[in-house]
Copies of this chain bind each other. A is one copy, B any other.
């Protein structure tokens, strides 16, 4: 049932393609889902990938195409004429997938492909969709949907649905509109099955329908579909006229990207990269944090130069401890707030309520850690003045980092800046340098550095 691509299988297929045993390959792959075949083509060398792709036709090849990664898709498309792309592939795709494919083509080819689409409605749907920016509701929606008029009877509704169903692959919802195409509500399949054929739609449809406008941000769309547990969401224009629908599978991708972006920010990776990107891209994505860390490190060195460390060299031994603990606490605090904001679980708390709570957590953790460090350094045999200074500093740094880590994302959010920046390099580096400064200020106070 579940397919796992192995190196052996890949080699086997390559060898069969080499020996031109195409029918054998097709037979062997006949049990596989098109998603798996796309994965196989992604992993094959370009030439073999092309050959394999061309073994499939019509709906299968169209479905495989949309599942390919960007690179393989380009490879596969570059040998096809505009007419082949239009007639064999685009005609077999829903408008949203078709628009995604066409959007990635070179502009010359884009026009050619569009002109070769025979179904003029399909072509016009695609052109409509190409106008919406990628990261909006419009960029996610498809034009294919089932719409029925409120004035129709159930019987007429079923008859019309039969016509429309030829265009719509999967029916998740039936939308009820008025004569001007204004979205009025939805009709569940259940109601349709259970209502006598002569009844009017207007008597049985559900008026509580959640919709979005085409210019809504895709992350807002994802939040709405998640919050209301929706599988499909209608898209309307400014006059509330039904223009499309978004299905959950496309939104799942948005959610995953969002989670990945936050994860990357927390890990100090600036662009949206993944492990398959090349060395230059990966380096570029990672360098900014390192450069900011570098500046922070140099600032840290300058801060330490102010103090007379030589007189109490043992203090230097605990720099890594203080730096690591301050950093950890800061990241923890910021991460909890960033997640709370993303999932809307912060509720109605004010900033000062959050800071107070965080102070509680920091005091508890700080007391435990400071107590331990005092005990351990004493047991190891450090001078008690050093033990004392290090534990007091640790306490102070933990409290500072916790409050700083909580405050920054909340303030960023209030000013409509992405709070996830608080887990990023700039804030963590500022946190580091200030922590170090606190450490040596306390050292100065107690040990006269």
Main secondary structure, interface of A, reads helix
What separation, in Å, do the CA atoms of A289 and B166 have in the docked complex? 58
Known A259-B263, A293-B325, A361-B286; judge A436-B194 contact (CB<8 A): no
Number of copies: 2
Q: Are A35 and B227 in contact (CB under 8 A)?
A: yes
Q: Are B249 and A325 in contact (CB under 8 A)?
A: no
Instruction: Assess whether A247 is interfacial by the CB under 8 Å rule.
Output: yes
Instruction: Assess whether A264 is interfacial by the CB under 8 Å rule.
Output: yes
Stretch among A105-113, A131-139, A169-177 lining the B interface? A169-177
Taken residue by residue from 349 to 392, chain A's Cβ proximity to chain B (1 for < 8 Å, 0 otherwise) reads as 00000100100110011001100110011001000000000000
What separation, in Å, do the CA atoms of A194 and B162 have in the docked complex? 6
Q: Name A402's closest neighbour in chain B (CB-CB).
A: B286
Instruction: Assess whether A260 is interfacial by the CB under 8 Å rule.
Output: yes
Q: Are B269 and A208 in contact (CB under 8 A)?
A: no
Size range of the chain A interface in the assembly: 35 or more
What separation, in Å, do the CA atoms of A324 and B436 have in the docked complex? 12
Instruction: Assess whether A415 is interfacial by the CB under 8 Å rule.
Output: no
Q: Are B300 and A309 in contact (CB under 8 A)?
A: no
Q: Are B170 and A290 in contact (CB under 8 A)?
A: no
Q: Are B345 and A275 in contact (CB under 8 A)?
A: yes
Stretch among A21-29, A48-56, A115-123, A313-321 lining the B interface? A313-321
Chain B contacts for A259, CB-based, 8 A: 256, 259-260, 263
Contact among B1, B276, B309, B376 with A211 in the assembled complex (CB-CB below 8 Å): B1
Known A194-B162, A287-B365; judge A345-B248 contact (CB<8 A): no
Instruction: Assess whether A417 is interfacial by the CB under 8 Å rule.
Output: no
Stretch among A12-20, A79-87, A328-336 lining the B interface? A328-336
Chain B contacts for A43, CB-based, 8 A: 347-348
Q: Are A345 and B274 in contact (CB under 8 A)?
A: yes
Instruction: Assess whether A412 is interfacial by the CB under 8 Å rule.
Output: no
Known A227-B35, A294-B369, A361-B282; judge A275-B339 contact (CB<8 A): yes
Taken residue by residue from 235 to 248, chain A's Cβ proximity to chain B (1 for < 8 Å, 0 otherwise) reads as 00000000000011
What separation, in Å, do the CA atoms of A316 and B231 have in the docked complex? 58
Q: Are B336 and A324 in contact (CB under 8 A)?
A: no
Chain B contacts for A380, CB-based, 8 A: 298, 302
19 A-B residue pairs with Cβ-Cβ distance under 8 Å, sorted by A, are A1-B210, A2-B210, A162-B193, A165-B194, A166-B194, A170-B190, A172-B172, A274-B339, A275-B345, A289-B332, A294-B373, A300-B317, A301-B314, A301-B320, A309-B313, A313-B313, A316-B319, A319-B323, A323-B324
Closest 7 CB pairs of A and B: A297-B321, A275-B340, A267-B335, A259-B259, A301-B317, A229-B249, A300-B320
Q: Using a CB–CB distance below 8 Å, which chain A residues touch chain B?
A: 1-2, 5, 7, 10, 33, 35, 42-43, 158, 161-162, 165-166, 168-172, 188-190, 193-194, 208, 210-212, 220, 224, 226-231, 247-249, 252, 255-256, 259-260, 262-264, 266-269, 273-276, 279-280, 282-283, 286-287, 289-291, 293-294, 296-298, 300-302, 304-305, 309-310, 313-314, 316-325, 327-329, 331-332, 334-337, 339-340, 343, 345-348, 354, 357, 360-361, 364-365, 368-369, 372-373, 376-377, 380, 398, 423, 425, 429, 432, 436
